[in-house]
Chains A and B, each alone.
Chain A
Amino acid sequence: MFGRKKKVQTRSDAVIEAHVANSKIVVSNLRKAYVTKRMETVAIADVSIEILDNEFVSIVGPSGCGKSTLLRILAGLDEATGGTAILDDKLIDDPGADRGMVFQTYTLFPWLTVEENIHFGLKIRKIPKKQADEIVDRYLEIIKLKPFRKSYPKELSGGMQQRVAIARALANSPKVLLMDEPFGALDSQTKSEMQLLMRQIWQVDKPTVVFITHDIEEAVFLSTRVYVMSGQPSVIKANIPIYLSYRRSLELKDTTEFIEYRHKITALLHDKEANADVES
């Protein structure tokens, strides 16, 4: 009768208020555990990260450290057992077009041609045909596959397929691009080419990217910042900003600064106490 119903502040609201306004993604105390009959397997113990707009952030860690699970939670493909993941002030609990993803496995739709694959998300979002065609053309140009627009995925090499997968995700103009070891299955030559292409795309369009890899060199080359994850228990061990030149070419990998970063992260991964000025 008297007084209004007290507004209940939800947990996610509290988390949002607690964080800086310009953070794109805020992950707080995330935990993921699988309960089987006999025991509980902890995939992610306690992870908190923040990603800003236009950042290219890599997460490196040994296999089985839960980095892929973390990415799948950000995509909304997996549910966390505890903690929160927030994108632009909204709790992530479902997959959506605002979080594009590129997988390690080849995930082009085999029954669609290259251009139809890039069209897929645009069609779902009901982008007008003319505008959609322009977007597809632009991305075919960027990934240098215009002559292959009518080809089916089975006619493409692995590297080409991953280029189309990147274009397909970016054409949807997602708020963040999630990449789960996208070059892991490629030969080293193709892998370097893909890294250069990815870096160039980022330099031009500045998409916000979260990139999972166990390849330290790849992480340093591509990123503006690298999170190092540890195995057991899986937590964030270090947060390392990469201060290297903005326009990067593959020669960068041979410079002393680059190699220093590589050594620092390698040491962290191998559990030696690196005498590095590690933040957070």
Chain B
Amino acid sequence: MRKLFRIRTKIDIKLYNALALGVFLLVLILWTMLSEGGSISQIFLPSPKSVLTYLIHVFGSGQIWPDIGISAYRIFMGFVIAAVIGIPLGILAGTFNFAEALIQPLTEFIRYMPVPAFVPLIMVWFGIDESAKIALIFLGTLFQLIPMVADNVRAVPEDLLSAAYTLGAKRITVIMKVIIPAIAPRTMDTLRIMIGWAWTYLIVAELVAANSGLGYNILKAQRYLKTDAIFGGILIIGCLGLLTDRLFALANRKLFPWAEGGK
């Protein structure tokens, strides 16, 4: 028992896994007890069994795949455009003080505006076709991405740049051959965090202005009070988010074997 409470000391990996799994089971048992016990109506809390039945049905018939596909497409587009614009702007802001003055204060200002509040405006501008969802994801991630990339640049040790200068590097070489490779793993990690935000904004967009996608599916289920479908939809989104997150983490380890924690 005393072993468990040692500050920042690793516990046995088997015990660790057992505890982690145990919490999942505990939640599942509580959920089953509450929903099957009859004290709460199925409409408010569908049983794990009915959610599972729903999941088997949508995956079995394949009807969920087009929704997953369209949602993934929106995430990908919004996210890629934000990365293509945001990363260079972040590098500029982190490298040159004048660029920081031009980019960062404005970015920080926009960053604190609630993105869902832009939805009506985006609908006015883009209607309700694909560009609207992509624009929302783009807006939601771009202004978070820029200051994070700029911070990654600022975290590159000054002596690393000095070393490059004393080896004959000019400014452009320092940016291309030192700053960019140095921030690569951290920026990959930044993108991993960003894609989590992207999933949130996607659902916001699909809940209010879409006729396809995972978010729309949830909205549709709500209309018919099919709470098992709502639960199922949230679970699918959660799993997809977790999957992309893990893929990014894996790519980071494989792409940058030289970084701490890389393989």
Where the two chains meet, the residues of A that have a C-beta atom closer than 8 Å to any C-beta of B are: 72, 75-77, 95-97, 99-101, 103, 105, 107, 109-112, 120-121, 124-125, 152-154, 165, 168-169, 172, 178
Contacts and interface: CB of A to CB of B under 8 A. Distances in A.
Given A109-B181, A111-B256, A154-B260, A77 B165 contact: yes
Given A75-B166, A110-B259, A125-B168, 9 more contacts: A96-B166, A101-B162, A103-B159, A107-B160, A107-B163, A109-B182, A152-B258, A165-B163, A169-B167
Contacts of B181: 109, 111
Contacts of A153: 258
Interface of B: 157, 159-160, 162-169, 173, 177-178, 181-182, 184, 256-260
26 contacts: A75-B162, A77-B162, A95-B162, A95-B166, A96-B165, A96-B166, A97-B168, A100-B167, A101-B163, A103-B159, A103-B162, A107-B159, A107-B163, A109-B182, A111-B181, A120-B164, A120-B177, A121-B167, A121-B168, A124-B167, A152-B257, A153-B258, A154-B258, A169-B166, A172-B167, A172-B168
Nearest to A72: B162
* Top-9 shortest CB links A-B: A97-B168, A121-B167, A95-B165, A101-B166, A107-B163, A152-B258, A124-B168, A111-B181, A107-B159
B166 A109 contact: no
Nearest to B185: A111
B122 to A, nearest CB: 40
A101 B169 CA distance: 13
Given A96-B168, A121-B168, A125-B168, A107 B162 contact: yes
Nearest to A96: B168
Contact of A109 (B160, B162, B168): B160
